[in-house]
Structure 1
Amino acid sequence: MSTTGEDVTESSAVSDRVLTVPNVISLARLLLVPVFAVLIGVGEDGWALIVLAVSGASDWLDGVLARRLGQVSRLGQMLDPAADRLFILVTLLGLAWREVVPWWLVLVLVLRDLLLLGLLGVLARRGYGPLPVHLAGKAGTFALLYAFPLLLLAEWPDPVGSVALVLGWAFAWWGVGLYWFAGGLYVVQAKQVLAADVESPRSSAPV
Structure 2
Amino acid sequence: MTQNDVVTSRVLTVPNLISLVRLLLVPVFAWLIATGRDASAVLVLAVSGASDWLDGVLARRLGQVSRLGQLLDPAADRLFILVTLFALAWRDVVPWWLLGALVARDVVLGVMLLVLARAGWAPLPVHLAGKAGTFALLYAFPLLLLAQWAAPVGTVAWVVGWACALWGVGLYWFAGALYLMQARRLLRGPAPEAV
1:195 Cα deviation from its structure 2 partner: 1.8
Q: Could you list the structure 1 runs, at least 4 aligned residues long, displaced by more than 3 angstroms after superposition.
A: none
Question: Which residues of 2 match residues 186-197 of structure 1 at below 5 A?
Answer: 186-197=179-190
Once the two structures are superposed, what CA deviation does each residue of 1:16-44 show, in whole Å capped at 9, x if it has no partner? 11111111111110010000010011110
Q: For this pair of structures, how many residues does the alignment match? A: 195
Shift in Å, 1:193:
1.6
How many angstroms does 1:4 deviate by? 5.1
In structure 2, stretches of 5+ residues that fail to align are: none
Deviation string 1:101-137 (CA, Å, 9 cap, x unpaired) is 1101110000000111111111111222221111110
Which residue of 2 is the match for residue 124 of structure 1? Answer: 117
Deviates more, 1:79-88 or 1:189-198: 189-198
User: Any gaps of 5 or more consecutive residues in structure 1?
Assistant: 6-10
Match of 1:53 in 2: 46
Amino acid at match of 1:114: V
Partner of 2:82 in structure 1?
Answer: 89
Q: Give the SS at the match of 1:202.
A: helix
Once the two structures are superposed, the pairs formed by residues 147-162 of structure 1 within 5 Å of their partners are 147-162=140-155
Of 126, 130, 151, the match for 1:133: 126
Q: How far, CA to CA, are the matches of 1:124 and 1:103 in structure 2? A: 31
* Structure 2 CA distance for aligned equivalents of residues 35 and 89 of structure 1: 14
Higher relative contact order (CA 8 A, sep 6+): 1
Partners of 2:58 and 2:49 in 1: CA distance? 15
Q: State the 1:58 CA deviation.
A: 1.0
> How high is the sequence identity, in percent, across the aligned residues?
72
Q: Superposition pairs for residues 6-25 of structure 1, below 5 Å?
A: 13-25=6-18
Amino acid at match of 1:128: W
Contact 2:5 2:63 in 1 (8 A): no
Question: Residue 35 of structure 2: which of 36, 42, 45 is its match?
Answer: 42
User: Residues 32-60 of structure 1, C-alpha deviation per residue, up to 9 Å, x if partnerless?
Assistant: 00000100111101101111111111111
Over the aligned positions, Cα root-mean-square deviation in angstroms equals: 1.6
